[in-house]
Structure 1
Amino acid sequence: MSKPRRPERAPLYTERDRANLRWLWSRYLRQKLPWLLLVLLMILAQGVVYQQFLAMTEDGLRVIFDSGTVGDLVQVCGVVFFLFAVRGLMSYLVPRVTVWVSNDAIFQMRRDLIDHMMSLDLAYFERTKSGEIIQRLVTQTQLLGVFIGQAVANALRDAITVIIVSGYLIYKNPILFGTAVVVLPFIIWVMNFVSDRVKITQGQAETELADYMNGIEETVNGMRTVKIASQEDVEAKRLLKGTGHIRDLMNRVQITQALVMPSIDLSSAFVYVLVIGGGGYMVLSPDFDVDGAGIIMFLLGMVMVFDPARLLALFFGGLQANMVLLDRIRGLYDEVPTITDAADAVEEFDTRGDIAFDDVTFAYSADQPLFDGLNLTFKGGQVSAIVGSTGSGKTTILSLLSRLYNAQGGQITIGEQPIDGLRLKALRGAYSVVAQDIVIFNNSIWENIRYVKPEASEAEIWQAAENAEIAELIRRRGDASVGPKGAQLSGGQKQRIAIARAFLRDAPILLLDEATSALDQATEERIKSALDRLTRGKTTIVVAHRLSSIADADRIFVLEAGKLVESGKHAELLDENGLYAQLYKAQKQGYDGR
């Protein structure tokens, strides 16, 4: 029986890694090239300081061992102090410049990521965990910035130090240096071993961390339900389980990285033994022109080589982890928006025209077909209502109208103008929306209303608030924030904020998606006249569950499983005694039975 083949080892730096590095350089770092060259010159100065320090140390030792004078010794000490003062100045300036460069690069990267994210389709946000998005924009970019600004500069400094000092040691004693580098192949093997495993484990850790952050957000957002259901222990165990997974993965990363230092320490010990033994032999042998000062200088030089070499080894171990971060960040650009402006898109269209669905087909996925040849027309300037059971496609119609999704077949028109030939900003600017899922920001009620029209005057905002029956609440609360996602407001108060936004925006087409679902009957009656004023002269499409609220609609469309089964006025549909009549009677009995 043949042995199973071991999986082929992936290359240490894949083509994707190289492409990511080219992207990082060309997009965010190349423009800072003059500053990066300045940093390189300062780092070169640091390396030269070490080389000169070795030379002055050897001269100083000869002054001590031979017949030098105190004056010569003082001069050597003064030069050494000056050299290290220069290195100290460079050690201050290099991080100052590199941190500025990296922070500015990360700022631009976040700006571009946000711009790109805002261009993506709604479908992306519905299938992507919010924790993953937050991790990319906050944690991963920050870690990458620290790596670029500090780790890379330090690694470059260490590499130049190794090269310059090694070159000087080769110049002084090539035989002894050649003996000392016999351990180099072993160090390279250790680094490849560590880097390969760090890259795999880091990728798993980033995925687990995104899941963990998403779990925290879900728990915090659902804390009301958690408390009412007394599920604190369950949520704590769920989060603790994620914490444990992250701990185990990070242990694997750090334990693997921990192999680097002892391996290099043992290699260093071996090298020092060779240098002391071989150098001592050279001093004792008349065949070599080497003295004690030269050997001490060489040992000091090897310390200067191996110490930065240790740090370089750690850098290359961490480099693989940062390759994973860079790939995750750039991966956001693999998401391409499908809902965009056509090349010949126009801005002008008849916002008072009829809105028509002509043989429209749509499915969220292949196994979730919804519309198959849907035909219906919402008359311009009239109030149309859409009713039906859950999942019949009511809200999807509003999503297709505003091109949150694109129809996959057929055509949707406004005033006989296909909506996919309109600029998105112009199309969506024609709508005022009151949705059942209301976005409330942790700000004052006033600012939440003004959100849809930042340039609105105080008088306009107060009028919108009065129309939505929420002005008195604004006076009581003043500038007080409403809490995360409006946690300090009732469902009815949130919906009145949404209604006030619609009044303020005052767009020609009004979309009401369960606009009064969270209002009690008394409050609904109070704002009914305001809603009547809001809809007057506008094309209004109402998605309603409470059928009594749309009895005055000019036309009612009844959907069932994505199909239009009935349409007409309230009285006509009751006379037909079809699905609408059944739904209405069932609701009426429910209210009467309370």
Structure 2
Amino acid sequence: MSEPKPTKRQPLYSDADKDNLRWFWRNYLRKHSGKLLIVLGLILVQGLVYQQFLAMTESGLRVIFEAGAMRDLIMVCIVVFLLFTVRGIVSFLAPMITVKISNQAIYEMRRDLIGHLMSLDLAYFERTKSGEIIQKLVTQTQQIGVFVGLGVANAIRDAVTVIVVSGYLIWKNPLLFASAVVVLPFIIVVMNFVSDRVKKGQAEAEQALGNYMNGIEETVNGMRTVKIASQEEVEKERLFTGTKSLRHLMNRVQITQALVLPSIDLSSAFVYVLVIGGGGYMVLSPNFDVDGAAIITFLLGMVMVFDPARLLAQFFGALQSNLVLLDRVRALYAETPSINDAPEAKAEFDTKGDITLRNITFSYDPEQPLFDGLNMSFKGGHVSAIVGATGSGKTTILSLLSRLYDVQSGEITFGDTPVRDLQVARLRGAFSVVAQDIVIFNASIWDNIRYVNPDATDEDIWQAAENAEIADLVRRRGDTPVGPKGAQLSGGQKQRIAIARAFLRDAPILLLDEATSALDQATEERIKKALDRLTKDKTTIVVAHRLSSIAHADSIFVLESGQLVEQGKHEDLLAQKGLYAQLYQAQKKGYDEK
């Protein structure tokens, strides 16, 4: 039995980390170089304040030890107070500037991420957990912003303090300082170990957090089903499992980070012993020109070096975590849209022409093709209907017409123009859609209707609401929000909002995907006249499960497993006694039994 291969330690900063840092600097920080230089200048002032504090402390000690004048001691105290007043002012100004810079950078990064997100194809959103997207746009970017705004500024301040104070101590006593830095290799080894473990643990924790957030969203969105099925305990256990996993992973990360400080504390103790012992020997020995004031000042200086060094060690641990976050946020840009405007794409096309699908091949999964050589033609200005069993491809056809997906082979044309030769925005602008998956926002019904046409007049919105038989509800509810995802509305009310939107948009091509499936029969009859007005002189394609609602269609296409099996008018299809006739009779029998 072979032994497992040891895990290869990753470099402290991988090429990807360096590239991500360059990307963040180039896109979001470089433009603020002037302000960052001001911050650096302020931080240098802080470092010089520490150096001057040490010098004044040594002078004050000598005044005390050598019985100097009281006036000299008072002057030393005044100067020290003034020095720390300057430091206090600078300590406020430097982070204030960096926080503003970082918040602006995160604002711009979120703006760019949102812009890129909106350009991605529908397929990305259907395969990506919404919790993962929210995590990138909200929590991860915010953590990066806090780290850049405060963490980096404080780290630079600490580094400058270490360098300036160390330089002063070297100038005062190079031999004693050299003996104090013998622990440096040990600290570097500890930091390498911690950084490697933190980076691995943070990556796992972020993955677990994304899954956890997605689980919460699924539970909240499905709370009606959870309550009806009495599955509260199951959901509690599922979320508790995610919580435990997060606790375990965060324990690993934070306990590993916690190793840094005691390691540095032990190193500091060793250094202080060397300074006290070695410095004491120098004071007592006639071979060195060192007095007690110098040694006390040197020891104070070492404290001022090691405290910032502790904070720097924590910073580098946090840096590894934030490099993981930056990599995950930037990974969104690896997703690129496949549906784009072709070179010299056309803005205008014949919206009243026939819509033709020629020899279409399409599949969501390469191993399970949906359409293979599909041919259909929807006559311009007429009402066409698509029917068939669930999974036969009805809604997919509507998605292909609006280029939410692209066909793998074959061609879709509007009039004589291939769909790939049209500007995507202008193509989709030619459609009004009433879909079965209705998006309702937590706003008033009025605002939900206006969403598809923000520039519409009040009269146009009221007319759309009247046409969709929802105007009375608009008046009753007023400006009251309808709840998240329209939780306070019935399915039929949501569907009427969608129909009102279609009236308000008034596009030349109308797609109705189960447009009346959530309406009761009486309401459907009232809205049918409005739909007749809506479809007048428009190319209308209706996907319907209730066959009685499309009996008036000019042409009906019957799909089965992605194949067009029948085509014709309602009466002709019934006369053929094929699949359509079977579906119709089965539905009619079901209604009669009710």
Question: Smaller-chain TM-score range?
Answer: over 0.9
Alpha-carbon shift at residue 2 of structure 1 (Å): 7.1
Structure 1 5/215 Cα, relative in aligned 2: closer, same or farther at 3 Å? closer
Match of 1:560 in 2: 560
Structure 1 distance, partners of 2:170, 2:209, is 48
Structure 1 282/232 Cα, relative in aligned 2: closer, same or farther at 3 Å? same
Within the alignment, does 1:133 sit opposite 2:133 as a pair?
A: yes
Q: Structure 1: which 4+ aligned runs deviate by more than 4 Å?
A: 1-4
Alpha-carbon shift at residue 72 of structure 1 (Å): 1.2
2:558 partner SS: strand
Alpha-carbon shift at residue 4 of structure 1 (Å): 4.3
Deviation larger for 75-84 or 100-109? 75-84
2:5 partner SS: coil
Match of 1:579 in 2: 579
Match of 1:439 in 2: 439
Where do 1:79-478 residues align within 5 Å?
79-478=79-478
Structure 1 distance, partners of 2:403, 2:224, is 34
2:370 partner SS: strand
Alpha-carbon shift at residue 368 of structure 1 (Å): 2.4
Opposite residue 453 of structure 2, the aligned amino acid is K
Structure 1 distance, partners of 2:161, 2:503, is 68
Alpha-carbon shift at residue 365 of structure 1 (Å): 1.6
Structure 1 distance, partners of 2:3, 2:487, is 62
Alpha-carbon shift at residue 156 of structure 1 (Å): 0.3
Alpha-carbon shift at residue 51 of structure 1 (Å): 0.4
Match of 2:515 in 1: 515
2:410 partner SS: strand
Match of 1:36 in 2: 36
Opposite residue 284 of structure 1, the aligned amino acid is L
Match of 2:5 in 1: 5
Percent of aligned positions that are identical: 74
Match of 2:76 in 1: 76
Match of 1:533 in 2: 533
Match of 1:547 in 2: 547
Alpha-carbon shift at residue 5 of structure 1 (Å): 3.1
Structure 2 distance, partners of 1:277, 1:458, is 86
Structure 1 stretches lacking a partner, 5+ long: none
Alpha-carbon shift at residue 79 of structure 1 (Å): 1.1
Match of 1:487 in 2: 487
1:110 partner SS: helix
Opposite residue 101 of structure 1, the aligned amino acid is I
Structure 1 146/572 Cα, relative in aligned 2: closer, same or farther at 3 Å? same
1:369 partner SS: coil
Structure 2 distance, partners of 1:286, 1:3, is 62
Structure 1 distance, partners of 2:384, 2:409, is 23
Structure 1 5/219 Cα, relative in aligned 2: closer, same or farther at 3 Å? closer
Structure 1 distance, partners of 2:535, 2:4, is 72
Structure 2 distance, partners of 1:389, 1:295, is 89
Opposite residue 403 of structure 1, the aligned amino acid is R
Structure 1 distance, partners of 2:310, 2:490, is 60
Alpha-carbon shift at residue 7 of structure 1 (Å): 2.5
Opposite residue 219 of structure 2, the aligned amino acid is T
Alpha-carbon shift at residue 44 of structure 1 (Å): 0.3
Alpha-carbon shift at residue 75 of structure 1 (Å): 1.3
Give the TM-score of the pair, scaled to structure 1.
0.99
Structure 1 293/480 Cα, relative in aligned 2: closer, same or farther at 3 Å? same
Structure 2 stretches lacking a partner, 5+ long: none
Alpha-carbon shift at residue 3 of structure 1 (Å): 4.9
Alpha-carbon shift at residue 77 of structure 1 (Å): 1.2
Alpha-carbon shift at residue 476 of structure 1 (Å): 1.0
Opposite residue 256 of structure 1, the aligned amino acid is T
Opposite residue 36 of structure 2, the aligned amino acid is L
- Deviation digits for residues 485-516 of structure 1, max 9, x if unmatched? 01111101100000000000000000000000
Structure 2 distance, partners of 1:308, 1:10, is 27
Structure 2 distance, partners of 1:590, 1:239, is 42
Structure 2 distance, partners of 1:257, 1:7, is 20
- Deviation digits for residues 160-195 of structure 1, max 9, x if unmatched? 000000010000000000000000000111111111
Alpha-carbon shift at residue 256 of structure 1 (Å): 0.6
- Deviation digits for residues 22-48 of structure 1, max 9, x if unmatched? 000000000011110000000000000
1:196 partner SS: helix
Give the TM-score of the pair, scaled to structure 2.
0.99
Structure 1 distance, partners of 2:68, 2:491, is 91
